[in-house]
Amino acid sequence: MSERVRVRFAPSPTGHLHVGGARTALYNWLFARHHGGTFILRIEDTDVERSTEESVEAILESLRWLGLDWDEEPYRQAGRLSIYQEYAEQLLKVDKAYRCYCTPEELEERRKEALQTGRSPRYDGRCRDGRPEPGKPFALRLRVSDEGVTVVEDLIHGEVGFDHAELDDFIVVRSGGLPTYNFAVVIDDALLQVTHVIRGDDHLSNTPKQIQVYRALNFPLPRFAHIPLILGPDRTRLSKRHGATAVLAYRELGYLPEAMVNYLVRLGWSHGDQEIFSREELVRYFDIARVGNTPAIFDQAKLNWLNAHFLREADPKRLADLLVSFYRQAGIAANEIEAKAGDWSNSGRAGTFGEAVIQTFRERAKTVEELAQASLFLFRVPIDYDGQAVETHLQPAALTHLREICDRLQRVNRFDASPLEKLYRDFVAEKGLKLGDVAQPTRVALTGRSVSPPVFHVMELVGREICLERLGTVLERTVG
């Protein structure tokens, strides 16, 4: 590509960044990085009643979490109002815009009347050639020809035509002086020298209006690419009823950013049959021409599968740091977490307690939160015993064996997986038992379940003190 690519992501700070917006940001970022171009962030905050600084920070934090860095200081539309006013006056001066004195009530009454009589509810142009009415509030409307067709050359959808009979002289500046979206966005994109406008399909209908503004101001047109929407499993637009939609909500649920990025990019784009990409591969392969023109379906199971993959591949130390926050959310006191970590470190074992937990539990988990919940029993917490597991594995004979095992556990020198396994194997060899005859009752006593990671690793992580407490509780028949 001969021209220097400049793209932008332009969210409105009226709430959190949602999945659809995040995918738009990602496609822009990848397009810029692939072509060695510039990724711009612009905050469209002219809606003063709904825009908040809290939302701005949430959007910035979402992009940081996803690893989508921007190349220039973020632009704020609220600080550029004088620029929009300057171009509005320019349109007035060359008679490409005019003052409209119609009140909202008058416009609504005419709209209803048009619908009742089967006419288009478009503006009827009555102020087009009117005289100035000093002192009376007015909006500014762009003159749009009644004839012809505006064709959008879209990189995803191809040529899309819009008949001018369906357009009207739309407002570019409201009566209060604030620019409309379709006016401000054109000026910003032109002055920031944006070469490609990559955004959601819901903006396609705005594009012919924006092209009219580009032409009225003699600005060069950028290339347009409108990404199809993301739908829920029921093929309606993705919303809260389908589950979490805000990007940061996924972070709070224990998803990893690399999984989220990998999933979002595949919601409409593909590179052969490849499912899992590194960040470097995404930058190398991304091509806007390979984005499909049909809506994508959000598949939670696919996201879970991807996250489980990246959970298994991630650095245990990084995951261990994340794990601590989920333990705290689950009610484990900070000093208890620190005590566990300290005991582990003082024992001379390799790595940290958190890393050992990650290595032991992540094969069965889809999220960090799930991993934390699965390993809560490692701390001194109430155990919810599964009735079927108790009935199957904690019969009188098993309890007799556990009582003897407890005596030996109190005397074992190192409470580590290898010596613990040797203790159990020596015991079953001596008694003529199978390993499962004592290992499985131990698992149920410690976890409340009949399924867990390898029981000797679990015992090592639980620690001697809690392990003996739980076995003692079972032996006193306080469960089941």
Q: pLDDT tier at 350 (50, 70, 90 boundaries)? A: confident
Mean pLDDT of 215-220: 97
Q: Look at strands 97-100 and 6-9 and give their pairing.
A: unpaired
- Give the pLDDT score at 68: 98
- Give the pLDDT score at 279: 97
**What CATH number is associated with residue 26?**
3.40.50.620
Q: pLDDT tier at 265 (50, 70, 90 boundaries)? A: very high
Tell whether 406 is covered by a domain: yes
Q: What is the pLDDT of residues 267-325, one digit of tens each?
A: 999 999 999 999 999 999 999 999 999 999 999 999 999 999 999 999 999 999 999 99
| Residues 86 and 65 grouped into a single domain | no
- Give the pLDDT score at 2: 60
Tell whether 221 is covered by a domain: no
Flag whether pLDDT at 228 surpasses 90: yes
Mean pLDDT of 233-241: 82
| Residues 61 and 17 grouped into a single domain | yes
- Give the pLDDT score at 250: 96
Tell whether 174 is covered by a domain: yes
Flag whether pLDDT at 216 surpasses 80: yes
Report whether 141 contacts 172 (CB < 8 A).
yes
Percent of the chain whose pLDDT exceeds 70: 98
Show the domain range for 262.
Answer: 6-71+230-299
Tell whether 222 is covered by a domain: no
Under DSSP, is residue 14 helix (H, G, I), strand (E, B) or coil? Answer: coil
| Residues 419 and 471 grouped into a single domain | yes
| Residues 84 and 160 grouped into a single domain | yes
Report whether 359 contacts 316 (CB < 8 A).
yes
Tell whether 284 is covered by a domain: yes
Distance CA 157, CA 149 (A): 17
| Residues 234 and 294 grouped into a single domain | yes
Q: Look at strands 230-231 and 296-297 and give their pairing.
A: parallel
Tell whether 206 is covered by a domain: no
Gyration radius from the chain CA atoms: 32
CA atoms within 13 A on the CB side of 334: 2
- Domain's final residue, options 299, 327, 349: 299
| Residues 291 and 321 grouped into a single domain | no
Number of domains in the chain: 4
- Domain's final residue, options 238, 268, 299: 299
Q: How much is the pTM?
A: 0.92
Range of lowest pLDDT (23-37, 239-253, 306-320): 239-253
Q: In terms of Cα–Cα distance, which of 297, 299, 290 is closest to 272?
A: 290
Q: What is the pLDDT of residues 126-182, one digit of tens each?
A: 899 888 888 899 999 999 998 899 999 999 999 999 999 888 999 999 998 999 999
Q: pLDDT tier at 480 (50, 70, 90 boundaries)? A: very low
**What CATH number is associated with residue 420?**
1.10.10.350
| Residues 435 and 458 grouped into a single domain | yes
* 240 given a catalytic annotation: yes
Secondary structure E strands in 131-286: 139-142, 149-154, 158-163, 171-173, 196-200, 223-227, 230-231
| Residues 118 and 176 grouped into a single domain | yes
**What CATH number is associated with residue 107?**
3.90.800.10
Flag whether pLDDT at 354 surpasses 90: yes
- Give the pLDDT score at 130: 81
- Domain's final residue, options 356, 378, 400: 378
Mean pLDDT, the chain, as a whole number? 94
Catalytic: which of 93, 112, 136, 240? Answer: 240
| Residues 83 and 66 grouped into a single domain | no
| Residues 392 and 443 grouped into a single domain | yes
| Residues 82 and 155 grouped into a single domain | yes
Tell whether 131 is covered by a domain: yes
Distance CA 244, CA 247 (A): 8
| Residues 60 and 152 grouped into a single domain | no
Mean pLDDT of 416-430: 97
Tell whether 56 is covered by a domain: yes
- Give the pLDDT score at 3: 77
Q: List, as one string, the DSSP characters of 362-396.
A: GGG-SSHHHHHHHTGGGSS------HHHHHHH--H
